[in-house]
Chains A and B, each alone.
Chain A
Amino acid sequence: MPNTISITIVEADRDRAMQIVDSLREAGDFDIHVVSEPSSLARQVEHRQPDIVLIDLTNPSRDVLEEMTLASGPLDRPVAMFVDRSDAGLSAAAIEAGVSAYVVDGMKPARVKPILDAAIARFRMFQRMRTELAETKKALEERKLIDRAKGMIMKARGVGEDEAYALLRKAAMNQNKRLADVAEALVSSAGLLS
């Protein structure tokens, strides 16, 4: 068995980094290192000389890693790394999941695959969580807006809660708009009156 593959994970969020590490540990025995500080990214990678670097696609520091693709660049790095080219389908899946992998020159595709598979699965989960969180937040905010609009109608018209809600819903239907949008319009323009 050749030497243990060394992996560097670039991730500022500690929890996320730990989750990625856990997923990789399940996939095999690797030497894993996490970089959380963007300013020291180039130095750390240079120092560690990992076989694979995993980075979130949305991380703006990613462009720093591109310097490593210059095999004999002005900085004369001893190691040339490439965006993973071992399997177009796998690379595309990684991009879709939001992770990109840099792989050291000469690494066998068969050794890269399980690592990338594990990373992709984990990043897909992050993506789902992010979407769910955003949806929940939005629902909560809309709920609050509707409650405030309802309160305003109750006060202005001297009606009960159910009737206020019915009025709001009727207005939304008449204007062909979402309930939350009508509520928002009411709440934001009411601010002008007080």
Chain B
Amino acid sequence: MRTINLSVGFIPLVDAAPLIVAHEMGFAAEEGIALVLRKAPSWSSLRDLLSFGQVDAAHMLAPVPVAAAMGLGGAGVPLAAASVLSVNGNVIGVSRGLEHRLRDLGHDFAFGDARAAGEALIAASNGVLRIGVPFPFSMHAELVYYWLTALGLPAPQNVVIRTVPPPLMVQALKAGEVDAFCVGEPWGSMAVEEAAGALLLPCSAIWAFAPEKVLAVRSDWAEQETALLSPLIRAVWRAGRWLSDPASRTLAAELLGRPAYLGLSPEVIDRALSGRLVISQAGEERQVNGFLEFHRGAANFPWRSQGEWIGRQLAARTGFDRDHAARSARAVFRSDLYRKALIGTGADLPGASLKIEGALSQESAFAARSGQMLLQPDRFFDGRVFEPSAE
């Protein structure tokens, strides 16, 4: 079989793992493709490299293709989310000063209760809370807005969410430019390592099953190159399954740590993979179940309802028409392409492409194409459920 090269862009983060593993562990080769991985310096540059065909596919923040469909940012090139690369994985942290105020007020840093942590954070902040996120179109931004708005802290009066590239976050915290931050790993752990802050909450405590990164491609490319896209989706799915096996963790951390990828100590990377995070300078540890999912609970299935949730949130805070945003956002999550690629493999394929988001408080069975499949808890911290509009 002839191997075809596909160039794939990524940002050096732990959740780029499925792409790196697909390449390094031979899952791509098994599908007859070779991934040429290209490290990108920023989300905006990666999105533009994808839009203008410098890469064929990219590791991408789930809201970026949605924003593109709404005409926000970028070059106006339609993008598609062909699969979900990872679920959850972000953390919220605070500066050392805020950490001290929180402890003085009696907060326990239990790292599980979003309401308690949020109320403590609001009580400890003096006036306006400034929170750094990696990108304006990111789950980081959406989850922080959702969390603080639900707790009654109005934006923009009392909370300013500001874009700070994660490599500059430690500097911004130390310089007092932001009070708190929401980032993906390894950046939360790096802030702790560099004594710039403490971790307050995993974002999975806000929404227990939030799509985080997607495999993004140009929509026109997806239509024209199905013969390349399907093997890519399969290779990445196999990589996710491999990553979900605890026995793979040591090797995965080793691979990701290489200079060509994250260039970091495997010990720091393992914290995200195991969900065992060091949250403070004092070395306190917290175990988070489902901290970062690559496979479990049909994690890779691009639910159209996930797209719609993102579209509605983004529209609500940018003043766009919400129904229109919901429609275009939903069309970006290509459950059809995903099904096409994985039919006949062992992958769980649900019968429906939409689901009610936030209804499951425990692992539950869901109707699959054949038989049943297991979904993971997906509750929002405030108990709200999100019902997608009828198709």
Q: Do A and B bind each other?
A: yes
Residue numbers of A with Cβ under 8 A of B are 38-39, 42, 57-67, 69-76, 82-85, 88, 91-92, 95-96, 100
> Which residues of B lie under 8 Å from residue A67 when comparing CB positions?
136, 162-163
Given contacts A67-B136, A69-B72, 18 further A-B contacts (CB under 8 A): A38-B168, A39-B171, A39-B175, A63-B163, A64-B165, A66-B43, A66-B44, A70-B72, A72-B319, A75-B156, A76-B156, A83-B73, A85-B75, A85-B76, A88-B75, A92-B53, A96-B52, A96-B54
Q: Is B75 a contact partner of A39 (Cβ separation < 8 A)?
A: no
Q: Is A39 a contact partner of B49 (Cβ separation < 8 A)?
A: no
Task: Say if the beta carbon of B160 comes within 8 Å of chain A.
Answer: yes
> Which residues of A lie under 8 Å from residue B171 when comparing CB positions?
39
> Which residues of B lie under 8 Å from residue A88 when comparing CB positions?
52, 75
Given A63-B43, A63-B44, A85-B76, also A73-B136 (CB < 8 A):
yes
> Which residues of A lie under 8 Å from residue B134 when comparing CB positions?
63
Q: How far is the CA of A96 from the CA of B41 in the complex (A)?
A: 14
Residue of B nearest to A91 (CB): B75
Q: Is A66 a contact partner of B73 (Cβ separation < 8 A)?
A: yes
B174-188: CB near A (< 8 Å → 1, else 0) gives 010100000000000
Q: Is A63 a contact partner of B135 (Cβ separation < 8 A)?
A: yes
Count CB-based A-B contacts (< 8 Å): 94
Q: Is B72 a contact partner of A61 (Cβ separation < 8 A)?
A: no
User: What's the least CB distance linking B205 to chain A, in Å?
Assistant: 23
Task: Say if the beta carbon of B155 comes within 8 Å of chain A.
Answer: yes
Residue of A nearest to B49 (CB): A95
Task: Say if the beta carbon of B172 comes within 8 Å of chain A.
Answer: yes
Q: Is B163 a contact partner of A60 (Cβ separation < 8 A)?
A: no
Interface size class of B (residues with CB under 8 A): 35 or more
Q: Is A74 a contact partner of B76 (Cβ separation < 8 A)?
A: no
Task: Say if the beta carbon of B137 comes within 8 Å of chain A.
Answer: yes
Point out the residue from B72, B164, B317, B318 that lies within 8 Å of A64, measured CB to CB. B164
User: What's the least CB distance linking A94 to chain B, in Å?
Assistant: 9
Q: Is A66 a contact partner of B41 (Cβ separation < 8 A)?
A: no
Q: How far is the CA of A76 from the CA of B156 in the complex (A)?
A: 9
> Which residues of A lie under 8 Å from residue B318 when comparing CB positions?
70-73
Q: How far is the CA of A88 from the CA of B77 in the complex (A)?
A: 10
> Which residues of A lie under 8 Å from residue B319 when comparing CB positions?
72
Q: Is A95 a contact partner of B165 (Cβ separation < 8 A)?
A: no
Chain B, range 201-250, C-beta contacts under 8 Å to A: none
Q: Indicate the member of A61, A63, A72 with the most B CB atoms within 10 Å.
A: A63
> Which residues of A lie under 8 Å from residue B76 when comparing CB positions?
85
Between A and B, 10 residue pairs with Cβ closer than 8 Å are: A63-B135, A64-B163, A65-B44, A70-B72, A73-B318, A84-B75, A88-B52, A88-B75, A91-B52, A91-B75
B149-166: CB near A (< 8 Å → 1, else 0) gives 000000110001111110
Q: How far is the CA of A100 from the CA of B161 in the complex (A)?
A: 24
Residue of A nearest to B64 (CB): A66
Q: Is B74 a contact partner of A83 (Cβ separation < 8 A)?
A: yes
User: What's the least CB distance linking B385 to chain A, in Å?
Assistant: 26
Residue of B nearest to A75 (CB): B156
Q: How far is the CA of A110 from the CA of B32 in the complex (A)?
A: 46
Q: How far is the CA of A5 from the CA of B317 in the complex (A)?
A: 32
Q: How far is the CA of A174 from the CA of B175 in the complex (A)?
A: 58
Given A67-B136, A91-B75, A95-B48, also A60-B156 (CB < 8 A):
no
User: What's the least CB distance linking A138 to chain B, in Å?
Assistant: 17
User: What's the least CB distance linking B78 to chain A, in Å?
Assistant: 13
User: What's the least CB distance linking A66 to chain B, in Å?
Assistant: 5
User: What's the least CB distance linking B99 to chain A, in Å?
Assistant: 22
Q: Is A62 a contact partner of B45 (Cβ separation < 8 A)?
A: yes
Q: Is A74 a contact partner of B317 (Cβ separation < 8 A)?
A: yes
> Which residues of B lie under 8 Å from residue A39 when comparing CB positions?
168, 171-172, 175, 177
User: What's the least CB distance linking A81 to chain B, in Å?
Assistant: 10
User: What's the least CB distance linking B59 to chain A, in Å?
Assistant: 15
Q: Is A74 a contact partner of B45 (Cβ separation < 8 A)?
A: no
Q: How far is the CA of A67 from the CA of B132 in the complex (A)?
A: 12
B38-76: CB near A (< 8 Å → 1, else 0) gives 000111110011001110000000000000000011111
Q: Nearest 8 CB-CB pairs, A to B? A: A74-B156, A69-B73, A92-B52, A72-B319, A62-B42, A60-B165, A58-B41, A63-B42
Q: Is B45 a contact partner of A100 (Cβ separation < 8 A)?
A: yes
Task: Say if the beta carbon of B97 comes within 8 Å of chain A.
Answer: no
> Which residues of A lie under 8 Å from residue B175 when comparing CB positions?
39
